[in-house]
Structure 1
Amino acid sequence: GSLPSIPSLDTISGTSTKNELVNLSPDFSSVKNWKAWLTERIELSFTDGAKPTFKRGDQRLDAFIHWLFHNKASANEEIVIICGHSTWLRSFFRSYLPRDVRHVAKTHKIQNCGVIQCQVVQFVETQDPSKKNRYCIDPESIKVIRGGFENVLKKL
């Protein structure tokens, strides 16, 4: 099935970009009609066309995580590919990598057209009386697929 475009994925800064979750086909050579191919894979019913102005960036990050694990369109997906603004993605890594972990993903933006793999984990904090769901990115799961992070050597 197709996957949705979600306003909570929009950039953390004041600018707005269009972000889609896309189920990519490994063989693009077979695509004859791009409009039909994209229509089958991108579900736009979750977006209103722009990020909500009444929500802070951290609220949009939380909304995405909630969508990822609790929405019927995504909760049963084993792999979800997100395309987004590098500032949003850096904020995502800062928010969900463990606090005591130093990682380049917390301090550097992903290069344009870069592809990074990671595993997001949901767990229940048993020591928390509210038994609230918690989420984190497994730092060992982060893998550069293409491009990597900007200016790593310049800023380190």
Structure 2
Amino acid sequence: MISFFITLPYIFLFYSLWILASLWRPFCTLSLVAVLSNPAAAIRKGQLFVWTLQYLLLCNDKKWKKDKNKEPNGKVVGSKTIIFVRHGESLWNETFNKGDRSVRDFVLGFIPNLIKAIAYEWYLWVSGASGESWFYDSPLSAKGVDQAYSIQRDFCQNAYLTPKEEAMKQICLQKKNSIVVSSNLRRAIATIAIGLQDRWAEEKGKDDPIQILTCLQEISRNPDALSITPAHGIVAAAETDPAFMKEFCEKHCETKHHYGNKPVNGNGLSRLQEFCQLVFELDVDNVVAGGHSLWFRSFFQTYLFSDHVAQKKKIVNGGLVSFTLEKVETETKEIAYRVDSSSVTVLHRGFG
């Protein structure tokens, strides 16, 4: 019996290799047929792979001086109410991140989940789905879709909120004096569309679009942080999105501020600053922004000048946090930005 358990890993390895060897020829044959039958899709997938390697090897997105900044003093010349909405769990998160799973469940499920992800990515390739990917611009998982719906159910349709929470809810749901913006990554767009769908329930979308912003793109070199949507192109719903997302994206996504992927030689700080500048150029007092955990945490680390949980922990998947962003004119007539620490308010789910 003991000898059986000693040899069990070798038996498993043998049969695994035997299965892979058996599948190798049909795998290669199908791949070749896919390339020859749809070369445009194959070239597009090849481009995504090359861009992934380029960002993995050369991206400087996290490289900037992160020393504690000195709080800007001077005259406050403007203020805006901002609501950050973090996307729900993505397929990338489901594959590579522990999340709220136990260590045991994550470790035991990692290899099967990775094999599933690779197999699905290969299926998308051979089927000619050039605008779809599990890894690149990773969309919402089934759990992520549920988290997005929880925004609608537990916040937007909640009748038992505090006065401040109710005011923030109205900002999310009413077009008057507010605008919705989102990262150019599909999971952020889908989370906004699902969670705040009551905002567009009366077909107000033609004059109330979601503005897609490259400056909100996640701060990371990983392929899930790269946008699959071409510059100024049409946002395509992912296969994992609810059915209504296809028509929603066509009607309600405005890409005039989507300039394609973030530059390889740029960094996250430049996009944080660009967002602040854009916010104060908008002719509204309130901005709802769909985005990502590292971007949001970096934002608070840069513009929040008192010790706060927002600087240390991420907004959880499907979380909403509001705050006041101030524009300051310093004594040297320079423009700087700061978050009013007393205004930071958890609206849904919070930090973790």
- Aligned letter for 2:327? Q
Cα RMSD after superposing both structures: 2.0
Give the corresponding residue for 2:219: 12
Tell me how far apart the structure 2 counterparts of residues 39 and 80 of structure 1 sit (CA, whole Å): 22
Give the corresponding residue for 2:308: 103
Instruction: List per-residue Cα deviations over 1:114-134 (Å, max 9, x = no partner).
Output: 000111111201x22xx0111
Of 276, 279, 296, the match for 1:65: 276
Deviation for aligned residue 1:63: 1.0
* 1:35-114 pair list within 5 angstroms: 35=246, 37-70=248-281, 75-98=282-305, 101-114=306-319
Tell me how far apart the structure 1 counterparts of residues 284 and 266 of structure 2 sit (CA, whole Å): 27
Give the conservation status (yes or no) of the 8 Å contact 1:109–1:149. yes
5+ residue gaps in structure 2? 1-207, 228-243
Q: Percent identity?
A: 30
Secondary structure in 2 matching 1:4 = strand
Deviation for aligned residue 1:48: 2.9
Q: Structure 2-normalised TM-score?
A: 0.34
Give the corresponding residue for 2:348: 146
Of 125, 130, 133, the match for 2:335: 133
Deviation for aligned residue 1:41: 4.1
Greater Cα offset, 140-149 or 37-46 = 37-46
The number of equivalent residue pairs is 128
Q: Structure 1-normalised TM-score?
A: 0.73
Secondary structure in 1 matching 2:347 = strand
Secondary structure in 2 matching 1:14 = coil
Deviation for aligned residue 1:77: 1.3
Change (3 A) 1:111 1:35: same
Tell me how far apart the structure 1 counterparts of residues 325 and 251 of structure 2 sit (CA, whole Å): 26
Q: Is the aligned partner of 1:123 residue 2:328?
A: yes
5+ residue gaps in structure 1? 19-32, 151-156
Give the conservation status (yes or no) of the 8 Å contact 1:111–1:148. yes
Give the corresponding residue for 2:28: none
Task: Identify, as 1 or 2, the structure richer in helix.
Answer: 2
Deviation for aligned residue 1:35: 4.8
- Aligned letter for 1:149? F
Tell me how far apart the structure 2 counterparts of residues 41 and 120 of structure 1 sit (CA, whole Å): 26
- Aligned letter for 2:294? T
Give the corresponding residue for 1:23: none
Tell me how far apart the structure 2 counterparts of residues 146 and 17 of structure 1 sit (CA, whole Å): 27
Tell me how far apart the structure 2 counterparts of residues 5 and 52 of structure 1 sit (CA, whole Å): 17
Instruction: List per-residue Cα deviations over 1:88-130 (Å, max 9, x = no partner).
Output: 00000111112xx1000001000001000111111201x22xx
Secondary structure in 1 matching 2:286 = coil
